[in-house]
A = this chain, B = another copy of it.
Amino acid sequence: MTTITDIALALGITPSTVSRALAGNPRVKEQTRLAVEKKAAEMGYERNIVASNLRKGRSNIVGIVVPRVRREFFANFIGGAEDVLARAGYNVIICQSHENLDDEIKALKALKNYRAAGVIISHSIESQDGGHIRDIMGNLPIVQFDRVFPDLPGAKVVGANCDGAYQATKHLIEKGYKRIGTIAGYMSCMAFVERLAGYRMALEDAGLRYDGSLVYPESILYESGKESARKAIADGCDALYCCGDYAALGAMDAAREAGLSIPDDFGIVGTADEFWAAIMTPSLSSLGQHPFDMGQAAARAFLDGRTGTEVIPMELHARQSSNKH
């Protein structure tokens, strides 16, 4: 592997000049810069990024910390972020917290240790606040997305959760459902808290009473969605706004098992607009997020050093599962 010293030797100059030349430092003469660049190309030089990182005390690595890569939302987010970060010369290290505080801390420490240029994170369900993030990362740029701690400074990219849930709930009301519950997700996440607020607002704006007993703040996995839906049916609900499509799917199955027909006896709206929502039968109405766009937005927020909160719109895709006649 050729080093700047090799180039310097070949040209009869010093490594420092080579370094500056390659960095485009205006202190080196045009002529020598060209000579250096030519020689470097000739010798197949590639900057040793590890040495560079050590000396500079920071790397061109951006860490992305998510609960799980396998989840479609996060995979798409990563896709979007990687696209714009790679174009800007950054490399992306992926860390999974597995919804687990310890793993999250471990990941953040590893990133700190790599002198990552910044971290893009959606915190685990176990994390109660952003203290550990701030403690570990110090004043490194942090971009939070989807699940964000408002107290933590730095950029944030979130879906229009409140507005989206409002739309979804309003849609159910307009379709004529009378007793609408919600599978609300864990209240430790802002995203879910906001959706609940949107749900409530829609009810109240329509002159309906908000009833806390129709809020099922469980996980949004298939099984717990099904379980919550059973309770909702027992509680007399005729519709559910679900904060996740898998929970919505569970709710569908619960309704069917209870002998209810969808959408006439029971209406359902999910969230995320997974690919399959449109192709199943009955097709599932769902509130679409834009994970890929969010990833791009988060990456750009990092690159530009922006610091506010960016809200990515969500739109309702009304389909059969909520189309009461």
Q: A94-B82, A249-B279 are in contact. Are A113 and B46 (CB under 8 A)?
A: yes
Among listed A7-15, A71-79, A161-169, A199-207, interface-contacting one: A71-79
Per-position contact with B for A13-57: 1 when CB-CB < 8 Å, else 0? 000000000000000000000000000000000111111011000
A4, chain B: closest CB distance, angstroms: 14
Given the complex, which residues of B lie within 8 Å of A94, measured CB to CB?
78, 82, 92-94
Total identical chains? 2
Interface residues on A, range: 35 or more
A115, chain B: closest CB distance, angstroms: 6
User: Does B72 contact A91, Cβ atoms closer than 8 Å?
Assistant: no
Interface set, chain A 73-115, CB cutoff 8 A to B: 75-76, 78-79, 82-83, 86, 91-96, 103, 109-110, 113-115
Q: Does A292 contact B (CB under 8 A)?
A: yes
Task: Give the distance in Å from the alpha carbon of A78 to the alpha carbon of B64 in the complex.
Answer: 14
A275, chain B: closest CB distance, angstroms: 6
A185, chain B: closest CB distance, angstroms: 20
User: Does A69 contact B50, Cβ atoms closer than 8 Å?
Assistant: no
Q: Does A213 contact B (CB under 8 A)?
A: no
User: Does A292 contact B70, Cβ atoms closer than 8 Å?
Assistant: yes
Partner of A75, one of B47, B51, B72: B72
Partner of A281, one of B75, B281, B292: B281
Partner of A276, one of B48, B49, B113, B276: B276
Given the complex, which residues of B lie within 8 Å of A109, measured CB to CB?
46
Q: List 21 A-B contacts (CB under 8 A).
A: A46-B109, A46-B113, A47-B113, A48-B54, A50-B113, A50-B115, A54-B54, A61-B93, A69-B69, A70-B76, A70-B79, A70-B292, A72-B72, A78-B94, A91-B93, A276-B276, A276-B279, A276-B280, A279-B280, A280-B281, A281-B281
Nearest 4 A/B pairs, CB to CB: A276-B276, A281-B281, A75-B75, A70-B79
